[in-house]
């Protein structure tokens, strides 16, 4: 079975930011435009920026459009590489993203003032530049789903019984589908911020839980992480139905103490 992944939305507080870019010898301040408080997804599926279900725009495409406004008219491709780090490539000439320049404001636009695209400073001048870390908005389990309750429709109502044994049942209707998703033997590097590697600083389950999933924002479930760029057919959209922390250590005794299990309960988001 393929490894699974969750995507959670990246949200911006302002409508525009600045990214200083050097392309073909010309340096310019470019405008990165978004809608405040709308959801954006760092998956590379090319979906247009729209308000549907709170936002479905592809964050990589938004960055692509920003860089293409350079007067040099670069042909730009923004993708996730095989290590799920951001890769910005131009078809001709060379490019440098000046994240550390005083004019750049996009570098601190992420949650907690971090670079949402995973870059740690100015890139080199090259035909393709890759981020140091995976961008915010992704959690890679590095494991397949261990157990899956599959989507089920809970019934809402109640049952009561009298002293004489009579039973009455009230049925208020059927809820949206609910799903239980379980992961086993997760390495602590994908669970806890403390152990996050430099190549996935925002890629832990703890980070996703505290900054998106646990505060009620929806998340996308990709049963195959290799399908992130495929589009709507590759994922289903859910919102947690529990505020309980979804991960726990398997045991206090080595070697199991180095691994975690995670359990998500989610309601399907359809509107």
Of the candidates 68, 84, 79, which has an alpha carbon nearest to the alpha carbon of residue 28?
68
Tens digit of each residue's pLDDT (9 = 90 or more) over 143-161:
999 977 777 777 778 889 9
pLDDT at residue 185, rounded to an integer:
93
pLDDT at residue 158, rounded to an integer:
84
pLDDT at residue 105, rounded to an integer:
97
pLDDT at residue 227, rounded to an integer:
97
Burial of 91 from C-beta contacts in 10 A (0-12 / 13-18 / 19+): exposed
pLDDT at residue 257, rounded to an integer:
82
pLDDT at residue 176, rounded to an integer:
74
Whole-model pTM: value is 0.89
Non-local (6+) Cβ contacts of 256 within 8 A are 249, 250
pLDDT at residue 12, rounded to an integer:
96
Of the candidates 87, 119, 97, 101, which has an alpha carbon nearest to the alpha carbon of residue 22?
97
Residue spans of the chain under pLDDT 70: none
Tens digit of each residue's pLDDT (9 = 90 or more) over 58-84:
999 999 999 999 999 999 999 999 999
pLDDT at residue 76, rounded to an integer:
98
Tens digit of each residue's pLDDT (9 = 90 or more) over 94-127:
999 999 999 999 999 988 888 999 999 999 999 9
| Residues written for the chain | 271
Residue 227, token pair as written in the block: 């399908």
Backbone angles phi, psi at 236, to 5 degrees: -120, 155
DSSP per residue over 75-93, as a string? Answer: -EEEEE-TTS-EEEEESSS
């Amino acid at each position: 079975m393929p490894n699974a992944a969750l995507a959670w939305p990246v949200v911006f507080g302002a409508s525009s930011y600045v990214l200083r870019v050097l392309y073909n010898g010309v340096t310019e301040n470019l405008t990165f435009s978004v809608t405040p408080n709308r959801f954006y997804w760092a998956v590379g599926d090319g979906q247009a920026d729209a308000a549907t279900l709170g936002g479905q725009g592809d964050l990589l495409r938004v960055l692509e459009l920003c860089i293409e406004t350079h007067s040099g008219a670069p042909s730009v491709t923004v993708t996730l590489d095989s290590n799920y780090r951001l890769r910005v490539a131009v078809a001709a000439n060379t490019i440098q993203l000046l994240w550390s320049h005083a004019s750049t404001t996009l570098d601190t636009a992420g949650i907690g003032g971090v670079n949402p695209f995973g870059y740690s400073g100015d890139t080199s001048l090259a035909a393709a530049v890759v981020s140091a870390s995976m961008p915010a908005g992704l959690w890679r389990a590095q494991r397949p789903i261990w157990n899956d309750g599959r989507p089920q429709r809970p019934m809402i109502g109640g049952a009561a019984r009298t002293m004489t044994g009579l039973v009455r049942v009230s049925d208020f209707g059927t809820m949206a589908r609910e799903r239980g998703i379980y992961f086993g033997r997760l390495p602590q590097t994908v669970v806890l911020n403390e152990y996050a590697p430099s190549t996935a600083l925002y890629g832990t389950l703890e980070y996703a839980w505290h900054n998106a999933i646990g505060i009620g924002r929806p998340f996308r479930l990709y049963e195959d992480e290799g399908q992130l760029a495929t589009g709507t057919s590759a994922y289903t959209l859910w919102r947690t139905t529990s505020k309980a922390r979804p991960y726990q250590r398997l045991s206090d005794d080595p070697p199991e103490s180095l691994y975690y299990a995670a359990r998500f309960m989610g309601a399907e988001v359809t509107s």
